Amino acid sequence: MSLKNSYLYVVLLLLLFTVVKTVSSQHYHFDNYSVKEGLAQSGVYAITQDKKGKLWLGTASGLSAFDGKEFTNFSSEDGLAEGGVKSLALDTLGNLWVGHDGGGVSLIQQGKASIVFNFQADITSFSFTQNGILWIGTYKEGAIQVLNPYETNKDSLKIKQYKGQDGLSDIIYQVLSLKNGKLCFVTDVGIKQYQTQKEVFSNFQIEGMSNYFQITCMYEASNGDLWLGTYNGGLYLLSFTRLFLKVLFTITLQK
């Protein structure tokens, strides 16, 4: 299993662990949805849910929306960029940002798709800062900062790229804007933190955590605790409220 695929695996495993831990005495029925039921493609890379409850699924053949009854699919014929959908993010306006294999970035506004950017590497992640700046993570082309992402005149867009030579890395698994305003990048060389005023990157040190296992994803809970998914190293909880680092469980992923 690749590091990129293990990211989604760990997130889904975390959700399952939380449900089982909370209501382990209950039994659940699972429905399976595939191309037969209308899904664009059975390979699903990303999932998010909007405020209306609609599920958006990034697949190897485009984007699917599920309203609980049926699927609506989007492809390049509907205005999306070419390539499978590897990442999804909703902004505060309810728009859906769609990251593709090959570097395309699409935007879904009021049910209509359009292409907003075309870069040269797979889009792995999106994150908006508190002041509206968009950060885009890529695989092998570093991170891209867009100061004015809603600018309709493409010649007026303010874009800057950061890579390994800038103190970051060329490989970004995830960009995460924390509630305290800090911006973190999960990379192949550890977690990096962006110093906004100095415009430099520094290492995000986690005391007591081994560097042996690759961190592939982060999730911030409502109380500020951080959940850390790793490749072959299990799941970690970094609690700032209780001041501890705990290994919740470890698993061995099959290749």
Q: pLDDT by residue (tens digit) across 226-241?
A: 999 999 888 888 887 7
Q: Strand pairing partners for 137?
A: 125, 143
Please, which pLDDT band fits residue 16 given cuts at 50, 70 and 90? very low
For the cut 90, the answer to whether the pLDDT of residue 19 exceeds it is no
pLDDT of the residue at 152: 87
Number of structural domains (the chain) is: 1
Q: Which domain holds residue 2?
A: 1-30+206-255
Please, which pLDDT band fits residue 169 given cuts at 50, 70 and 90? very high
Query: Does residue 5 belong to any structural domain of this protein?
Result: yes
pLDDT of the residue at 212: 84
CB 169 within 8 A of CB 163: yes
For the cut 70, the answer to whether the pLDDT of residue 127 exceeds it is yes
pLDDT of the residue at 232: 85
Query: Does residue 137 belong to any structural domain of this protein?
Result: no
Residues with Cβ within 8 Å of 221's Cβ and at least 6 positions away in sequence, in order, are 227
Nearest 5 degrees, angle CA 216-CA 219-CA 223? Answer: 150
pLDDT of the residue at 8: 52
Query: Does residue 21 belong to any structural domain of this protein?
Result: yes
Query: Does residue 153 belong to any structural domain of this protein?
Result: no
Query: Does residue 243 belong to any structural domain of this protein?
Result: yes
pLDDT of the residue at 138: 98
For the cut 80, the answer to whether the pLDDT of residue 26 exceeds it is no
Report, as an integer, the average pLDDT of 217-226: 92
Query: Does residue 8 belong to any structural domain of this protein?
Result: yes
Contacts of the segment 238-245: beta carbons below 8 A, 24+ positions apart: 238/206, 238/209, 245/206, 245/207, 245/208, 245/209
- The CA distances from residue 223 to 2, 118, 134, 228, 230, in Å, are 31, 36, 24, 15, 22
Query: Does residue 254 belong to any structural domain of this protein?
Result: yes
| pLDDT more than 70, % of the chain | 85
Report pTM: 0.84
Query: Does residue 50 belong to any structural domain of this protein?
Result: no
For the cut 90, the answer to whether the pLDDT of residue 123 exceeds it is yes
pLDDT of the residue at 154: 87
pLDDT of the residue at 248: 66
Look at the alpha carbons of 79, 41, 33, 57 in this order and tell me if their dihedral is positive or negative. negative
